[in-house]
Amino acid sequence: MPRPTDTPLPFPQAALRAPKGSAWRDWQIDPAADSKVSLKKLKPGDKPFSNGDKQVDQAMVQAIAEELDGLQDLFYADRRFKLLVVLQGTDTAGKDGTVRGVFSRTSPLGVHTVGWKAPTEVERDHDYLWRIHQQMPGAGETMVFNRSHYEDVLVPVVNHWITPAQTAQRYAHINDFERLLAETGTVILKFMLHIGNEEQRKRLQERIDDPHKHWKFSLGDIDARKQWADYQRAYEALLVETSTPWAPWNVVPADSKTHRNLMIASIVRDTLKALELRYPPPKPELSGLRIE
């Protein structure tokens, strides 16, 4: 009997891997090679996908966003696959901005977004992945997660609500859950939006100084910021433990909002192209048909 990791995926697994020599390669967590991840070594201010000119980068983001609209149309017509995009990061990392910047041109008929918050009472009555499974994309659909099931190996870990043994168990649950999704046609792109401590401070202060942004700010954000080092360690652990051949992690240096969008848009586009999507064959009954 083949081992779980030997089970072939219904899409080319190479679509998920960063090509050798690409700007993407150094920012993808290799499940075969990376036994430890240091976020301090991955500089949040780097711009590996940048052309060196902010205006050129912004134009590229817009061009790729338009290209994604066409690719999504083809993806929806093909209907062999589903796409799950996971945006995970600390407060102010830019999850909302990524959704607006990267998926602004795509049809809401094929692209959906879920913003995950603390579980409701009903959700707490079930296992922690129950609510997640209900929001998986259907055939031809793209689902974008603003936060995700990875909150369940971040917040409880930092606050010591679960033990190390329970944390390891959850890593295994998540890996098996994502393997199930991948083996049934879901392409999973996971992005950890990596911003620096000082950049977060600036963005939080902007939310305080601008009354129109007060709705984005919570006093709980200050408490979470005090746990910065603990969250960084929790992220480093989950990046290693849950980067798999069927769902590898991509770290996105995100101090620059434009670069963040450019990198994610580029990876989503290149992944869709690698799937070798195709329209269904023409219907013979429509040949020569004329509408009166």
Q: What is the pLDDT along the chain (292 residues), one digit of tens a residue?
A: 344 556 789 999 899 999 988 999 999 999 888 789 999 999 999 999 999 999 999 999 999 999 999 999 999 999 999 999 999 999 999 999 999 999 989 988 889 999 999 999 999 999 999 999 999 999 999 999 999 999 999 999 999 999 999 999 999 999 999 999 999 999 999 999 999 999 999 999 999 999 999 988 888 888 889 999 999 999 999 999 999 999 999 999 999 999 999 999 999 999 999 999 999 999 999 899 999 8
Q: From the CB of residue 235, how many other CB atoms can be counted at a distance below 10 Å?
A: 24
Instruction: Tell me if residue 70 falls in helix, strand or coil.
Output: helix
23 CB-contact burial (10 Å; exposed 0-12 / middle 13-18 / buried 19+): middle
Q: Which domains does the chain have, with CATH numbers?
A: 10-279 (3.40.50.300)
- In this structure, the number of other CB atoms found within 10 A of the CB of residue 58 comes to 15
Tracing tokens 């290149």 back to the chain, one arrives at 270
With 0.75 as the threshold, say if the pTM is over it.
yes
Structure-block tokens of residue 4 = 């779980």
- Alpha carbons 199 and 215: distance in angstroms, whole number: 20
DSSP-assigned letter for residue 279 = P
